[in-house]
A and B are shown apart, each in its own frame.
Chain A
Amino acid sequence: MMPKFTRREFLKKSRMLAAAGTLGLSGCGARDDQARLVPFLQTPEEQVAGTFTYFTSLCQMCPAGCGILVRTMNGRANKLEGNPQHPVSQGRLCARGQAGLQAIYNPDRVQTPQVRTNERGDPFAPTTWDEGLAILAEGLSQSQGRMAIYSGHLPDHVYRVAARLLDAGGSARRPIVWNLYRAAEGRNLLQQAAAEVLGAERLPLFDIGAATAVISFNAGFLETWLSPVQYARGFAELRKGATRGSLVAVEPRLSSTAAVADEWLSPPGGREGDVALILGRIILDERLGASDRPSEVDAIFADVSVRDSAQELGLDFEQVVRIARGFAQADAPLAIPGGGLSGFDNAPAAMRAVLALDLLVGAPNRTLFLTPPPPAGGELDPREEVSSYADAAALVEEMGAGQVDLLLVLDGDPYHDLPQAMGFADAAAQVLLIVDFSPFPTDTSVLFADLHLPQHTYLESWGFGVPEPGTALRTMTAQQPAVPPVFDTRSLADILFAAARLAGPPYADRLPWEDEFTYVRQSVETMQQALNSQQIQTGSILTNNLENFFFEWRQFGGWWSAQEDRPEVSPTVPQNARPEPPVRLAEEGRPFRLQIYPHLLLAEGRHANKTWMQETPEPMTTVVWQSWVEINPQVAEELELETGDIVRVASAVGEVEVPVYVFQGIGPDAVAMPMGQGHVAYGRYASGRGVNTVDLLEMTEVGDTGELAWGSTWVSIEKTGEHEPLARIERSDATEMPTGI
Chain B
Amino acid sequence: MAIDLDLCTACQACVVACYAENNIATVGEEQIQNGRGLHWIRIERYWKTEWPQPQALFLPLLCQHCVNAPCEPVCPVFASVHSDDGLNLQVYNRCFGTRYCANNCPYKVRMFNWFKPEFPEPLNASLNPDVTVRGVGIMEKCTFCVQRIRRARQQARAEGRKVLEGEVVPACVQTCPTGALTFGDLNDPNSLVARLAQSERGYNLLEFLGTQPSITYLKGVGAERG
Contact = CB atoms under 8 A, between A and B. Distances in A.
A633 B196 CA distance: 39
Given A259-B10, A632-B51, A102 B151 contact: no
A158 B132 CA distance: 39
Interface centre among A77, A613, A727 (most CB of B within 10 A): A727
Interface in A25-56: 40-41, 43-50
A9 to B, nearest CB: 43
Nearest to B15: A616
A81 interface: yes
A729 B10 CA distance: 13
B127 interface: yes
Nearest to B59: A741
A236 B51 contact: no
Contacts of A260: 8-10, 58
B223 A262 contact: yes
Interface string A721-741: 000011111110001111011
Nearest to A76: B125
Contacts of A76: 125-126
A415 interface: no
B78 interface: yes
A254 to B, nearest CB: 6
A235 B176 CA distance: 12
Contacts of B47: 664, 735-737
Nearest to B120: A107
A235 B54 contact: no
A213 B177 CA distance: 20
Give the size category of B's interface with A. Answer: 35 or more
Contact of A94 (B11, B45, B81): B11
A584 interface: no
B132 A79 contact: no
Nearest to A624: B32
Contacts of B12: 95, 600-601, 616-617, 619
Given A98-B175, A240-B7, A50 B129 contact: yes
B42 to A, nearest CB: 6
A622 B122 CA distance: 28
B32 A625 contact: yes
A486 B7 contact: no
A95 B16 contact: yes
A92 B19 CA distance: 16
B150 A612 contact: no
B20 interface: yes
Given A78-B126, A741-B205, A239 B7 contact: yes
Given A48-B150, A619-B58, A740 B123 contact: no
Interface stretch (A121-129, A226-234, A280-288): A226-234
A740 B127 contact: no
A620 interface: yes
A78 B91 contact: no
Interface string B167-209: 0000100111111100000000000000000000000011110
Nearest to A50: B129
Contacts of B51: 632-634, 664-665
B8 A740 contact: no
Nearest to B204: A740
Nearest to A619: B10
Contacts of A99: 16, 20
A78 B45 contact: no
Interface string B138-172: 00000100110011001000000000000000010
A223 interface: yes
Nearest to A601: B12
A359 interface: no
Contacts of A262: 222-225
A107 B54 contact: no
Nearest to B42: A729
Interface centre among A48, A49, A246 (most CB of B within 10 A): A48
Nearest to A732: B35
A727 B33 contact: yes
Contacts of B171: 79
B13 A486 contact: no
Given A229-B177, A235-B9, A257-B9, A246 B130 contact: no
Nearest to A97: B13
Contact of B37 (A82, A97, A615): A615
B222 A612 contact: no
Nearest to B19: A612
Contacts of A40: 91, 93-94
Contacts of A45: 89, 130-132, 143, 146-147, 150
Interface string A71-111: 00110111111100000000111111111011011110000
Contact of B32 (A77, A101, A619, A729): A729
A572 interface: no
Q: Which 4 A-B pairs have the closest CB atoms?
A: A232-B177, A619-B10, A625-B29, A611-B26
8 contacts: A78-B128, A98-B20, A99-B16, A235-B9, A264-B54, A614-B29, A616-B15, A725-B33
